């Protein structure tokens, strides 16, 4: 515990040394798409832009809503190395805040920002940040210059706020940048925070309206033609896609699309998520948020491995939460941490001949469903533990000042 600050310093130094000294450390391909793509607004061809300097097999288009381009636009005025280094350091700082807030949601907080956590929990948060940096979701987020940790942090800040306009406004804002955080609205519904849920939809609508007002042609192109086109985002069948659709498609040997097989899978996932949530204690805010976010990752047609940063809060829940003393939680946490520290999709990527090929040997197909199977195991464990526990799973002592209604 005493070495936690030193370990974090060494980890950050190692990460930045890799970025600055290795041949590919500053590729940051997705950050290039954000920066260079948003600059394409000046020519009015945002959705015709592609970046292929280091990805010739798949020229990367700008796939986010037009509001994201407005948010990223100022970055193109800065030298890219400055943006790249600052982006990575800010991502690590955001990861620490995400971890810290996860612990606060779990155990309650006393006016979180003014009094903070005690020294022991601060050290634990630092250690989780060290671990989180080397997990595949965060490691690849740093490699690509992705935005995932910032979006997760925005959702975390939103659910902690007791002000409906702050909570809903933040969720609407981050959903305007990337659609996937919109699932956080389901958290508000489950917690019966109706004003927050409604204002999240209003705020998202505001990002859409602003996009039509400022860059109408791009907004029309996205919302009237490109929205819902998963193939434009990337190869559905690639092992990097850990969504339910990706996993089922690899097992089936072809893209199942949004047809009957996928709908059955979604129905099963929804039932498991619902039962898992019902098994939580009414004060288990982090457990509720994790279940909602994992369900969203399953539901999305494309959930790249770097989208799964919510596995860090989930692991914190397993290790420090209301079921932490149960053997099943220890086994599940160990399995998940092993998987994301090794990076199973990364290992399996060496065995796929092309990111565009879906069909593969059965063993590789099932191994490639690692995150989907792991999420199902998490839901089933919460359901089981909630049934056999002498008190509702997730019932935590009431915090001194609850960060939720």
How do the pLDDT tens digits run along the chain, 405 residues long? 889 999 999 999 999 999 999 988 899 999 999 999 999 999 889 999 999 888 887 889 999 999 999 999 999 999 999 999 999 999 999 999 999 999 999 987 543 434 545 788 899 999 999 999 999 999 999 999 999 999 999 999 999 999 999 999 999 999 999 999 999 999 999 999 999 999 999 999 999 999 999 999 999 999 999 987 877 888 999 999 999 999 999 999 999 999 999 999 999 999 999 999 999 988 899 999 999 999 999 999 999 999 999 999 999 999 999 999 999 999 999 999 999 999 999 999 999 988 888 999 999 999 999 999 999 999 999 999 988 765 444 444 433 344 554
**d(C-alpha 381, C-alpha 346), whole Å:** 26
pLDDT at 404: 56
The CB density around residue 53, as the number of other CB atoms within 10 Å, is 11
Q: Are 133 and 309 in contact (CB under 8 A)?
A: no
3-state secondary structure 10-70: HHHHHHHHHHHHCCCCCCCHHHHHHHHHHHHHHCCCHHHCEECCCCCCCCEECCCCHHHHH
Number of Cβ within a 10 Å radius of residue 285 = 25
Instruction: Name the nearest CA neighbour of 191 among 151, 170, 153, 161.
Output: 161
Give the side-chain half-sphere CA count within 13 A for 255: 14
Instruction: Give the per-residue pLDDT at 109.
Output: 57
Q: How long is the chain?
A: 405
- Torsion sign, CA atoms 177, 180, 186, 191: negative
Cα atoms in the Cβ-side hemisphere of radius 13 Å centred on 67: 19
**What confidence score (pLDDT) does residue 282 get?**
86
What is the 8-class DSSP label of residue 391? S
């Amino acid at each position: 515990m005493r070495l936690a600050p030193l370990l974090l310093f060494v980890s950050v130094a190692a990460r930045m040394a890799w970025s600055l000294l290795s041949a590919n450390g500053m590729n940051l391909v997705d950050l290039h798409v954000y920066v260079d793509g948003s600059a394409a607004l000046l020519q009015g061809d945002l959705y015709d832009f592609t970046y292929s300097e280091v990805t010739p097999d798949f020229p990367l288009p700008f796939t986010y809503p037009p509001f994201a381009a407005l948010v990223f636009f100022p970055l193109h005025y800065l030298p890219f190395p400055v943006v790249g280094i600052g982006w990575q350091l800010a991502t690590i700082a955001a990861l620490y805040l995400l971890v810290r807030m996860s612990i606060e949601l779990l155990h309650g907080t006393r006016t979180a920002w003014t009094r903070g956590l005690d020294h022991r929990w601060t050290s634990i948060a630092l250690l989780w940040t060290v671990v989180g940096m080397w997990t595949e979701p965060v490691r690849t987020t740093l490699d690509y210059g992705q935005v995932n940790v910032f979006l997760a942090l925005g959702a975390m800040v939103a659910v902690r706020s007791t002000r409906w306009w702050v909570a809903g406004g933040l969720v609407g804002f981050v959903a305007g940048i990337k659609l996937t955080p919109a699932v956080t609205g389901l958290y508000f519904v489950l917690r019966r925070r109706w004003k927050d849920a409604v204002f999240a939809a209003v705020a998202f609508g505001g990002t859409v309206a602003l996009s039509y007002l400022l860059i109408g042609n791009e907004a029309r192109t996205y919302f009237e033609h490109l929205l819902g086109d998963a193939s434009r985002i990337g190869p559905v069948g690639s092992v990097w896609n850990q969504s339910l659709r990706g996993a089922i498609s690899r097992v089936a040997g072809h893209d199942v699309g949004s047809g009957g097989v996928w709908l059955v899978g979604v129905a099963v996932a929804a039932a498991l998520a619902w039962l898992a949530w019902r098994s939580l204690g009414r004060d288990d805010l982090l457990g509720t948020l994790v279940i909602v976010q994992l369900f969203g990752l399953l539901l999305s047609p494309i959930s790249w491995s770097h989208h799964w940063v919510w596995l860090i809060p989930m692991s914190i829940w397993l290790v420090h939460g209301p079921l932490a003393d149960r053997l099943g939680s220890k086994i599940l946490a160990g399995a998940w941490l092993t998987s994301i520290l090794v990076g199973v999709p990364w290992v399996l990527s060496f065995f796929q001949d092309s990111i565009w090929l879906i069909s593969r040997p059965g063993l590789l197909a099932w191994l490639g469903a690692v995150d989907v199977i792991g999420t199902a195991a998490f839901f089933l464990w919460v359901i089981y533990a909630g049934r056999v526990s002498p008190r509702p799973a997730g019932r935590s002592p009431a915090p001194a000042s609850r960060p939720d209604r």
